[in-house]
Amino acid sequence: MAVAVMILCSTVSPISLIKDEPPSSLPTGTNITIGESIQERQDLATHPTSITVERIHQVNATPAMVIPITLKVSNRGNERVRARLTEDQRPGLQYSDPYELHYHNYEAMKIPFYSWDLTLEPGSTQTITYHVKPEGVGMIAFTAALLTDEYGNQAESAMTSIRISCMPNRICDTGENTIYCPQDCPSGSADGICDGFPDGKIDPDCTQNFDPDTGAIPVPSQTKKSPSVSYISIIAVIIALGVFLVRSRSG
């Protein structure tokens, strides 16, 4: 058996791959099926560039302010580069500039964003500025702005935030609440937030029985109680017995 295997192995020759046309040695009338050739994927050649993006804005503001947001894009390389800059729109802000709004899908959500197509000359810097107005107090967090060039290289800005503080005027204005503006909106105010503080006031923003003050049991006033009739009777009996004993001894 081993000899037969050796003979078979020695007589096997490699089969040449079918290319554009079948080999001429096939018999006439042979049915041929040409399949799609499978080749190893060649990685695309990279074309490194030197692009950067930075977001610039103030870190503290009030709801009455219009805040400029500047995106600074730089090409530190020695060749012209085309690139696309995208910036997500953030909730809690009003955008006043007439830039076209786009959307991309993230799971079941549609995320609004802005997009700008840029041509960056070697060693140049471009800026894009838009304006926002806070809708209320709180913390506004920005995701990273994304810069993608024509070769697929990407650069991201740092994630930044703006703290929106109130300007106390003794009025709980729209957008203010007891968390970020307790001077104007004390606990239990109608400020759109169920604060849940046990302050003796039922918060109108809480659902039924959610505010701890809803089920609070009033503490009874500590009034001085008069002695009971039985207690007075016992004392009277003791006094009378004492008087009787004193008289009996003296007689």
196, two tokens: 């849940």
176 and 158 in a common domain: no
130 and 182 in a common domain: no
Structural contact between residues 137 and 177, judged by C-beta atoms closer than 8 angstroms: yes
Average of pLDDT values for 16-44? Answer: 49
159 and 62 in a common domain: yes
Question: Would you place residue 235 in the very low, low, confident or very high pLDDT band (cuts 50, 70, 90)?
Answer: low
Residue 64 included in any domain = yes
The pTM (predicted TM-score) of the whole model is 0.58
- Say how many domains are in the chain: 2
CATH code at position 62: 2.60.40.10
Residue 22 included in any domain = no
90 and 174 in a common domain: no
Residue 179 included in any domain = yes
150 and 90 in a common domain: yes
141 and 79 in a common domain: yes
Domain endpoint, select from 164, 199, 229: 164
Question: Would you place residue 52 in the very low, low, confident or very high pLDDT band (cuts 50, 70, 90)?
Answer: very high
Instruction: Say how far apart CA 83 and CA 149 lie, in whole Å.
Output: 4
Residue 17 included in any domain = no
7, two tokens: 């003979």
Average of pLDDT values for 164-181? Answer: 83
114 and 142 in a common domain: yes
Q: pLDDT digit string (tens) for 184-216?
A: 888 877 777 777 677 767 777 787 666 666 654
Q: Residue 124 burial (CB < 10 Å; 0-12/13-18/19+)?
A: middle
186 and 99 in a common domain: no
Residue 23, pLDDT score:
57
Average of pLDDT values for 132-157? Answer: 95
Residue 243 included in any domain = no
> b/e string for 32-43 if b means 16 or more Cβ within 10 A?
eeeeeeeeeeee
160 and 57 in a common domain: yes
61 and 160 in a common domain: yes
128 and 108 in a common domain: yes
Residue 34 included in any domain = no
58 and 159 in a common domain: yes
Residue 240, pLDDT score:
55
Among 55-64, 98-107, 187-196, 226-235, the least confident range? 226-235
Residue 35 included in any domain = no
Residue 139 included in any domain = yes
**What is the span of the domain harbouring residue 154?**
51-164
Among 4-8, 104-108, 131-135, 167-171, the least confident range? 4-8
